[in-house]
Chain A
Amino acid sequence: MAIVDLANPTRFLNVVNRVLPWLAAITLVLFAVGLYRAMNAPDDYQQGATVKIMFLHVPAAWLGMFGWGLMTVAALGTLVWRHPLADVAGKAAAPIGAAFTFICLITGSLWGRPTWGTYWVWDARLTSMLVLLLLYFAVLALYWTAEEPGRGARAAAILSLVGAVNLPIIKFSVDWWNTLHQPASVFRTGGPTIDPALLAPLLIMAIAFTLLFVTLHLAAMRNEILRRRVRAMRLMQAQELAQVT
């Protein structure tokens, strides 16, 4: 099957129905391995056992940003190519991205208290991440409150494109401003600065969380396609009733 065939929602649903159980199973296995490695990873020489929060916080931060990146591509698909699945993909990604951003902020706060001595500071990295969560809420409000889904989708797509400006700000905030948050330690020129004993479980957990995101996203896209079918059928029913009366 060619990739373009997936543009057809019915074919897309067939593929998703076949792929989802496998994705869920692989995700479960990776989480089992990742959590085992994370729980048995050595303590950090400065932070002690609180470094275990990193295995949740860092993947959640990556996926919070990944979700918005996905919505940005979907927004282009909605506004430029008017692809039928682009809006579905954007709408399905928003609550999942918001949830991962929320996890990032809460776990970061719980990590910050024992290591920095505070739950929160208004520094560039933390504030730009909070802005990302507020942007997610704004997009969700546009999707959920629009009377006409098409209009809500266009407004959400425009906000997704505008909000994409925040992604490089989050990424480079630790380089551009003097922040309490540590600089990049995995994806950086010169290679990771984390000890391999901590890096390996972190990467396994990151892959597990990414597969969880993909699994949830595909399932949410399937739900959205079904919801649109329900809406179309109800509209047809209403039209037929109007013709009869």
Chain B
Amino acid sequence: MNLGPHADFIVAAYAVTIFVVAALLAWVLLDYATQRRILGDLEERGINRRSQRGAGR
């Protein structure tokens, strides 16, 4: 594949896009892991949501 005389611009465009998409994916995955960990900690300490308490009765 020959990208011609403007290969730098094409490569830069794809690199920026891959970087931004990777950053979005990392943000979503890390945030999910963080929220799950905090929820787990809270539940371990016996703190439940009101709806969970209602369901347990």
A113 touches B9 (CB 8 A): yes
**Taking the complex as formed, is B6 at the interface, i.e. its CB lies under 8 A from any CB of chain A?**
yes
B39 touches A229 (CB 8 A): yes
B31 nearest in chain A by CB position: A223
Question: Which residues of chain B come closer than 8 Å to A60, judged between CB atoms?
Answer: 17
Say which residue of B3, B13, B24, B48 sits within 8 Å of A110 (CB atoms): B13
Task: Report A88-110 CB contacts with B as 1/0, cut-off 8 Å.
Answer: 00000001100100110011001
Question: Which residues of chain B come closer than 8 Å to A227, judged between CB atoms?
Answer: 31, 35
Say which residue of B3, B4, B6, B16 sits within 8 Å of A106 (CB atoms): B16
Say which residue of A56, A99, A222 sits within 8 Å of B32 (CB atoms): A222
Interface residues of A in 8-48 (CB under 8 A from B): 39-40, 43, 48
Say which residue of B6, B21, B28, B38 sits within 8 Å of A50 (CB atoms): B6
Interface residues on B, range: 20 to 34
**Taking the complex as formed, is A149 at the interface, i.e. its CB lies under 8 A from any CB of chain B?**
no
Question: Which residues of chain A come closer than 8 Å to B13, judged between CB atoms?
Answer: 53, 56-57, 106-107, 110-111
**What is the CA–CA distance of A39 and B1 in the complex, to the nearest angstrom?**
8
A233 touches B49 (CB 8 A): yes
A52 touches B32 (CB 8 A): no
B48 touches A49 (CB 8 A): no
**Taking the complex as formed, is A212 at the interface, i.e. its CB lies under 8 A from any CB of chain B?**
yes
Task: Report B32-51 CB contacts with A as 1/0, cut-off 8 Å.
Answer: 10011011001000011110
B46 nearest in chain A by CB position: A237
A103 touches B20 (CB 8 A): yes
Are A229 and B49 also in contact (CB < 8 A) when A56-B17, A57-B13, A114-B9 are? yes
Listed in ascending order, the chain B residues whose CB lies under 8 Å from chain A are 1-7, 9-10, 12-14, 16-17, 20-21, 23-25, 27-29, 31-32, 35-36, 38-39, 42, 47-50
28 A-B interface contacts by CB (under 8 A) = A40-B1, A43-B4, A49-B6, A49-B7, A50-B4, A50-B10, A52-B10, A56-B17, A60-B17, A99-B20, A103-B17, A103-B20, A103-B21, A111-B9, A111-B13, A114-B5, A114-B6, A114-B9, A219-B29, A219-B32, A222-B32, A223-B31, A226-B32, A226-B36, A226-B39, A230-B42, A232-B49, A234-B42
